[in-house]
Structure 1
C-alpha cells in the first residue's frame, strides 16, 4: 500500500490545486469515532466528514444495506424506471420532518442541489423572484448557491457574476450584534426586507437554524419563530437549510424543532445516508406539487444505493437514539470546552447545540477575530491525532462535529488532545 507521502506526490500531479484537504494524511479505514491512515496513524474524528457520518463510518446496517442493493442493481434513474427505496425515503422524510401538514419530497445529490431546487420550487409556486438570505450564511458552491453564500474567500472569489435577485439581511449573532434579543433582531431584518426588497416580491426566506460554515452561529431565542410568523403573513416560503444541522446532530432530529418552527420547505443532505451522496427537499404538498412534471429531478438523484444507505441510517438513528447521543455528547463536550475557555482569554464564546459545538477565538480582551491563533490550535490538534475543523466568516472559529456513534473513550481522548493544544 502506498504511503501518505507517496499518495501526496501523486495527488499534486493528478488533482486540481483548488481542491483542498485539512490533513496531509490519506485514509485507509474508519469507524466509530476514529480514522486510520495508510501509514497506520489513528485520528480521533471531530469532523465526521463535515457532519456526514452521524451514524459513524461503516455503520453495520448501512454496510449491509449497500451490499445488498449493489447486488440487485446500481442505477436505473428514478425518472426512467422507478424503484421502492426512493419512495420509502420520501415517506420517511415526510414523516420525520417538522410540520403536521401534508408533505412531499424530492431527492437530489448534494446540499447545494437541494438548495437550488428549494429556490426553484418557491419561485415557481409564488411567482415571485426574490430570495432573502442572511449574513454569515453558507448554502453551497454552485453559481446560485454562491450568490446565497456570504463569505467571499474561498467560496466566491473571482467566480462571478452570480445569480441575481438575492438579498442579504443581518443575522442574529448575539456575540457580535450587542446581544439583541431574538424578536428585536428579527424586526431589524424584516424592516430591511420590507424597505429594500418589498415583501410582495420575496419568493423565499432561506436560513440555517444554526449557521454552519459561517461560524456555528446560534440565533437568539425567538429569532426563528418571528421570521416564520412574518413569512407566513407575507406569503413568503420559509426555507430551513438543515443540511448540516439535520439528522440528530443538534440533539433533535432537526434543529428547527428546538423552537417549534415548522418550515414550508426543508433542505437536507450530509447526515442523511451514512456517507453516501444523497440530498432532499421536503415540504408542504401544495408547494412541492406546484411544479410541473419534469421540472424536478436529475440523473443520479435518489440513486438506489444511496437510498438504501439512507433507510439504514435512519433506522440506526432510531435504534441507537442518536438524538439522545448528541445531547449526551454535547453535555460532556460543552463542560470541557467551557473549562478550557475559563482558563484561556482567547476563547470569547463557547456555543452550539448537541454535538454541534464551537469556540470563537479572538485577541484577548477584544472581539477582534484571531484566525492565526485558531489555525495554530487546530494544527496542534492534527499533529497530536485529533481531526478538527475551523470555520466562520473571519476564520476564527473551531468547530466540533464528532460522529454521534463516537465512544466515551474516544470522545474523552479527543478532548484531552484539544485541551493540550490550548496549553
Structure 2
C-alpha cells in the first residue's frame, strides 16, 4: 500500500512542450509553477551541462565502496551517474506531462503507425504462404531433417498468422452486453495458442530426429542438394527484411510483437538449419538429425518463453514501476480535496492495465463532492495509455486494515 500525505494541490493547468522549455536550459524549471508542479519536481532536473561535469565523489559512491561486488573505475562511476540523472530527467518530465498530452501522443502514434501495422500483419501473412511452399520444396527434395524442421516451422506460420488476425478482429468487434469488460484478452489467448502450436510441432520433429539417429546412416545422406539450400537462403533473407520492418512497431502493437518474435526465431532456425544441412552432407551424416534436434529444442524454448510472458499478462502481473509512479502522481495531484493516497495498484488483464486507487477525503464532504472528485479521477486514469479500466475507492481515513482481501477462500 502507498500512503501519501498531501497538501492543497491542483493540476488543472496543462503545460505544452514549448512552455516547458529545453532540458539543456539550466533555468527551464522556472517554466513550472505551483499549479503544474506542486511538489517542485522540476527543481531536480539537471541540464546536460550539469550532467557532463558531475563527479563520482559524493556520499552515495563513498558508501558503495564498502558493498560487495566488483569495484568501478572513476570513468564507470561518472558514466553511471550521468545515466542515472538522464533517466531521472525523463521520469520527471513523464510525471509532469499532462494526462491529455499522454493520450494525444498515444493516439498520434497509433494513427501514424496504423498503415504500417496492417502492412506488417498482412505482408507477413503473404510472405509466410510463399515461403512455406518454397521451404516445402527444399525439405522434400533434399530429405534433410534440418530443412524439414525449418519447413515445419514455416508451414505453421500462415496458420498462426490467421489465429492472430482472427483474434485481433474479435477484439475490435465486441458485444458490450455479452462481454462488459471487452475482448482484449482474446488477443493474449491467441498469442498463447500460437506459442503452443509451434512447441507441438517442435516436439514431433524431435521424435523424428531421434528415430533417424537410432537407425543410423542411410543412402544419400552425404549428398548436398544446392537448390534446397538456395530456397532456404531466400527464406532467410525475406525473414530478415520482415524482422527489420517489424522492429519499430514491436512495442506499439502486441500482435506485431508476436510477429517480430516469430521472424527473429526464424532467422536463427533457417540460418542454423542451412549450416547443419550442409554439415550433414559434407562432414558427418549425424550432424543433420542432431541439428534438427537442437533446432527443435531452440524453437520450443523460445516459444515457451513467449507463452510464459503472455500467461503473466493473462493472470494479472503488476505494472512496471514508472507506470505505478505516474498513476500515483496523477492521483496525488488530481484535486486539493484529496488528503491522502491510501493504495495504488495496477495490473495487467490481457494486453492492457486495470488500475485500483484508494483515496482519502474529508468525512464532512458532501456525497456530491466526493462523487465528482472520484469520478473525474477515474476518467482521468482511464485516459492514460494502456489503461483499460480504473476503479477509485474513497475512504475517510487510512489507519484501518486492508478492507479487501486478495486471497479468496473457495
**Which TM class, normalised by the smaller chain length?**
under 0.3
Q: Which has the higher contact order (CA 8 A, sep 6+)?
A: 1
More strand by share: 1
Higher helix share: 2
| TM-score, normalised relative to structure 2 | 0.24
Q: Which has the larger radius of gyration?
A: 2
- TM-score under structure 1 normalisation? 0.24
